[in-house]
Amino acid sequence: MIKATRLSLAALFLGASALTAVADGWMPSNPECIAPANPGGGWDFTCRQVGKVMQDEGLIDKTMQVTNLAGGGGGVAFAEVVNKRGEDNNLIVAASSSTSTRLAQNAYPGNTMDQVRWVASVGADYGVIAVAKNSPINTLPELLDKVKADPTSVAFAGGSAVGGWDHLKVLIAARADGVEDVRRVKYVAFDGGGEAVTQLLAGSVQAFTGDLSEAKGFVDSGDIKVLAVLAPERLPGEFAQFPTAKEQGIDALGANWRGFYAPKGMSDEAYNAWVDKIATLYASDEWKKVMETNGLAPLDLKGADFDKFVADSVTQIADLSRQIGIIK
């Protein structure tokens, strides 16, 4: 079972006093979080929820200012940080798998992931592959065996564009199962996961790719069955019923992670403090409640570990994107 948290040594041995230790250290004078989209989306949610919990836990002593800077799928915000706010110690920016996907596909012209500092993750929404409830297919290997035998026999429906995250999750699984030419995997894009599932139930497609949070309601209603969750281990609680791809012999991980980056020129003192603050927030009971309420699964990475995770994601997505012709 995945543990919801991996506490820092300070939090493990000092308990509540760790909050005081962090709070007594470096503090941002005017904490700000950029959400690279309009209000109401995932990035906006990440900024506002993290800001609230940080203040509630005493990790910042002022209200977090949330700045919505939409455009270019996060590219406008990324360029703003790189070009204009490269030494701002007060600033963190919400990011997700969409950020690493667009960086991998060169969708932020002239910008690369090493132009910022990657701070920490605060959870993830893991990918799933599912079929209609009445489908004769019951495992992910069965489904991918059909793809290998005749790629035209299985169409995957998802709520992202071709080359987007829903599409890439299927390709990650297919490649992990030995599909050599992933360009032959058939993917049909729809405007959102709901429409994709509707087409699955109508028989227009044979499989669905999306995130666990959007699939859960259709499982509860009895419309679909989840063949695999693209998580390293079975998820806790009510999600434990869903098998992972890994336990079926397919080592595929597809996490729509949520986290933060910061300006490249931020001081080491400020950067390390932000890393510690987010690590302490992640270990708090209040954040556990936020995760449970909003369907976020565990993903606890910070500092160098988070930087490596994002770098590996960018490399993998770039490789897949070249294979399917999204980039050269």
Q: What is the full per-residue pLDDT of the chain (328 aa) written as tens digits?
A: 444 433 332 333 333 333 333 445 899 999 999 999 888 778 898 999 999 999 999 999 999 999 999 888 899 999 999 999 999 999 999 999 989 999 999 999 999 999 999 999 999 988 999 999 999 999 999 999 999 999 999 999 988 778 888 899 999 999 999 998 899 999 998 877 888 889 999 999 999 998 887 787 888 899 999 999 999 888 877 788 999 999 999 999 988 899 999 999 999 999 999 999 999 999 999 999 999 877 788 899 999 999 999 999 999 899 988 988 888 8
Q: Of 248, 271, 296, which one is at a domain's C-terminal end?
A: 248
The answer on 199 and 96 residing in a single domain is: no
Kindly state whether residues 180 and 262 are assigned to the same domain.
no
Do 240 and 205 share a structural domain? yes
> Tell me, what's the pLDDT at 202?
95
Counting beta carbons within 10 angstroms of the beta carbon of residue 48, is it exposed (0 to 12), middle (13 to 18) or buried (19 or more)? middle
CATH number, domain containing residue 265:
3.40.190.150
**Residues 212 and 135 placed together within one structural domain of the fold:** yes
Could you tell me if residue 2 is inside a domain? no
Domain end, chosen from 213, 248, 283, is at 248
The CATH number of residue 226's host domain is: 3.40.190.10
Same domain, 305 and 229: no
Sign of the CA dihedral 214, 308, 71, 264? positive
Say whether both 278 and 308 belong to one domain.
yes
User: Is 100 inside any structural domain?
Assistant: yes
Residues 307 and 266 in one domain: yes
pLDDT for 24 equals: 52
Q: State whether 275 and 235 are in the same domain.
A: no
Is residue 241 one of the residues assigned to a domain? yes
Pair 24, 70 in one domain = yes
Nearest to 67 by CA among 83, 45, 44: 44
- Predicted pLDDT of residue 164: 85
Q: Is residue 1 part of a domain?
A: no
* In-domain check, residue 150: yes
130 and 228 share a domain?
yes
In this structure, what token pair is assigned to residue 182?
A: 């992933």
Residue among 31, 47, 143, 26 at smallest CA distance from 96: 47
Domain count, the chain: 2
Question: Is residue 328 in some structural domain?
Answer: no
Pick from 225, 248, 271: which residue ends a domain? 248
Domain contains 300: yes
Query: Residue 194 has what pLDDT?
Result: 82
| pLDDT at residue 118, rounded to an integer | 98
Task: Please tell me whether residues 72 and 213 are part of one structural domain.
Answer: no
In angstroms, the Cα distances linking 126 to 47, 58, 229, 255, 256 are 20, 30, 7, 4, 6
Give the range of the structural domain holding residue 68, as residue numbers without chain letter.
9-124+257-323
**Of 31, 84, 122, which is closest to residue 265 (Cα–Cα)?**
84
Same structural domain, 82 and 66 = yes
Q: Has residue 244 been placed in a domain?
A: yes
